[in-house]
Chains A and B, each alone.
Chain A
Amino acid sequence: MQKITRDLIYTIARHSNWRGQSIAHWLRKEKVYADTADWVRFMQLFLLGLGGSFLVAGVIFFFAYNWADMHKFVKLGLLEFLLLIVTLVAVFSNWSKVVKDVMLMASVMLTGVMFAVFGQIYQTGANAYDFFLGWTMSVVLWVIVSRFQPLWLILLALINITFILYTNQVATNMPFTGVLNILFGINAVAVIVWEVLLWRNVISAKHRWFPRVMALAAITPLTISMVVSMFSNLQEDYGVSFILAALFFPVGIWHGFRTRDLFYLSVIPFSGIVVVAAGIVRLADNDPVGIFLVASLFVIGSIAFLIRNIININRKWHGAAH
């Protein structure tokens, strides 16, 4: 028997004289509401997450205080000792996988603190890009081994930050669109790797939020890059952003069809709509009055068209299923 959704219960209640008491019973019976097992799991994760993050935050604050009386060797030694303990426990204890993952996450954060303290002692500055590069390089193996998606997200965040700081501090003459295009590249590679691993059954499709976040982190800069380069007459990146979109967007759409994933089928066309709408405004320098109306009508029409198509596609998929 299929699971009954909240929506269906709402619909039935709307068109019948179903009693409240009985609705409540069904909401519990069909597990729309959290049951005892859900609460236990929630409380365990909640306490573990809060406890872990408070402890790490406490350690960070301790070193941020920059205790003048404490010798630099003691500071670094203390941190390294802590790091060693946490990592060893994460690897060799027989606690559950979740606890070990959270501990490894703490190790990753502690590595960052260690680099920050190093920067504090030797005055390299806390936002130097090499600091983030070092941090990224040091934790990459753990992240790969752990197969824990929050850690992957942290790693990708670190790579993104390293690159952005690098463009701010070293490659200062790189055009804005170039930065955006490379950000697209970094995050798109992450999505592709994830999807390939899933395809090869190396990872499970249970948690899809990681590739979703990364896909958004890839498509958003590319969309901005296309709009910006359109308004700069393609002088900045010579249309590289458009070439990237022409290469990768069809692949994304194809993949969306192949895996029956509506996410790619909605996000990629939406990016296209934004770019075309901006293009319409760009085309009409002389007559801004009419063109805004055209652009807004275009957006409404194309979004409606997109939604209708998504629903149709979805119906087709489901039609095949039943």
Chain B
Amino acid sequence: MAQHTNEHLQQVLQTIAQEEGANFTYDAGKIETEARFSSSLYSNLPIKLLTIFGGFLATFFFMGFLFTTGLYNSNVAMLVFGLGFIVGSEVLNRLRDDLMLNSVSVSLNIIGYLLFGMGVSELGNDVTLALALAGVATVFILVSEGTVLVFLSVLVLGGSLLSLPYILKITELLHVFVGAVTALLTYMSLQEARLLAGSRKQNKLYGPVRMGLVFILASVLIFLSNQEFDADKIKYPWISTILLTLALLVVLRQVMQDTGIAESRTRFIVYGCCLVMLAPTILTPGIAGALLIVLASFYIGHRVSFIVGLLALGYFVVLYYYNLQLTLLTKSGILILTGCLFLGGLYVLNRYIRNHAN
């Protein structure tokens, strides 16, 4: 990742100002400070990972401490401490833009949610727990400024909403959940620029919320596809597949628009291939979902979520063949045939490129 020298930054800002005209206003001081702060991290990912792993490790020991003190004997105490830690994590995070405080704040946040959850679960029933956690997480997302903290809260919110269909024993609601997450993820991926141009808060939320949605979508798809979670008891899995496929077609449409594929014949062939490929997997929504994550992330160049998508795709494809009720010989035939189809696709693609390059 390149570092942005001040001079370079000024050049960029001037170019943008020229393009935007007289209406363009910006806070040069804040941009400079932030750019210096983020470029001083060189590669953000190792430091972020270190913060998160350090946070987890500290949480682990601190939980050990809390339990040896006998805090778990009192539900009210757990609830109060939990809420206190969640609030405290945000306060610490805002105190200063400092990674030192970030690692403390992340671990406090995790402990906060755990204690709060344990406190509520003893006092109320499961629905109360899910709703209370969802409520706290929502408020936190609306208030917080920290990237990792918002990401964790998105996971808590998604997880608690995901548990509701199971608690209420209306597992069909999962399809509504999938639909909502898919729509949000697709919208966010295709409209990144417009969302960034919105308010400062919206701009700050974009990254962690999108990342959280990717993880939530991947986990709900695991629940819908893996037999260990009683996936076969969930009725109408094809609803989710159809919703995911629709989103996939929307992404493909955008990609083709951007890459300049204008002929409607080519477009329909691409849509057709996609539908034909996904048709046999209609009862396993995971494959369409993972493909959506892969394509949407590649489109906007988000490396981490792209890798998550690829891993998910591998997992769901293996699961799909594992669950097929056929003899190994038939499976082998299907696999070889599909492999040949993909290689055939590669051949056609290469020919298309060669023809259009001339």
Contacts and interface: CB of A to CB of B under 8 A. Distances in A.
B342 A50 contact: yes
B203 interface: yes
B193 A23 contact: yes
Residue with the highest number of chain A CB atoms closer than 10 Å, among B19, B24, B329, B346: B346
A18 B339 contact: no
7 tightest Cβ-Cβ pairs between the two chains A and B = A54-B339, A303-B54, A58-B335, A16-B26, A51-B342, A58-B336, A292-B65
A23 to B, nearest CB: 4
B200 interface: yes
24 contacts: A1-B11, A5-B1, A6-B301, A7-B39, A11-B31, A13-B197, A15-B200, A24-B193, A32-B300, A32-B301, A47-B349, A51-B343, A52-B339, A54-B338, A58-B332, A270-B54, A296-B60, A296-B65, A299-B54, A299-B57, A303-B57, A307-B99, A308-B100, A311-B47
B82 to A, nearest CB: 17
A200 interface: no
Given A14-B200, A44-B349, A310-B47, A322 B343 contact: no
Contact of B260 (A13, A36, A270, A310): A36
A15 B336 contact: no
Contact of B194 (A10, A20, A263): A20
A1 B61 CA distance: 48
B329 to A, nearest CB: 4
A35 B9 CA distance: 24
Contacts of A47: 342-343, 345-346, 349
Nearest to A36: B259
B2 A3 contact: yes
B68 interface: yes
B184 interface: no
A315 B40 contact: yes
Given A34-B299, A273-B54, 13 more contacts: A13-B196, A14-B34, A16-B27, A32-B300, A48-B342, A262-B43, A290-B65, A303-B55, A304-B101, A306-B50, A307-B47, A307-B50, A311-B40
Interface in B295-348: 298-301, 321, 327-329, 331-343, 345-346
B327 to A, nearest CB: 7
A174 interface: no
A29 B60 CA distance: 45
B34 A11 contact: yes
Interface of A: 1-24, 26-28, 31-36, 38-40, 42-44, 47-48, 50-62, 64-65, 67, 262-263, 266, 270, 273-274, 277, 281, 288-290, 292-293, 295-296, 299-300, 303-304, 306-308, 310-311, 314-315, 317-318, 321-322
Interface of B: 1-5, 8-9, 11-13, 16, 19-20, 23-27, 30-31, 34-35, 38-44, 46-47, 50-51, 53-55, 57-62, 64-65, 68-69, 99-101, 103-104, 107, 191-197, 200, 203-204, 206-207, 255, 258-260, 298-301, 321, 327-329, 331-343, 345-346, 349-350, 353
Contacts, number: 274
B62 A17 contact: no
B246 to A, nearest CB: 21
Given A3-B2, A54-B339, A18 B16 contact: yes
Given A12-B26, A47-B346, A62-B329, A22 B19 contact: yes
Contacts of B321: 57
Nearest to B51: A307
A19 B5 contact: no
B104 A300 contact: yes
B64 A292 contact: yes
Contact of A270 (B50, B207, B353): B50
B26 A15 contact: yes
Contacts of B299: 33-34
B21 to A, nearest CB: 10
B197 A18 contact: yes
Contacts of A274: 57
Nearest to B1: A5
Nearest to A318: B3
Contact of A44 (B2, B57, B350): B350
Contact of B298 (A34, A263, A270): A34
Contact of A54 (B34, B255, B336, B350): B336
A16 B31 contact: yes
A321 B2 CA distance: 11
B47 A322 contact: no
Contacts of B195: 20
Contact of A39 (B103, B259, B331): B259
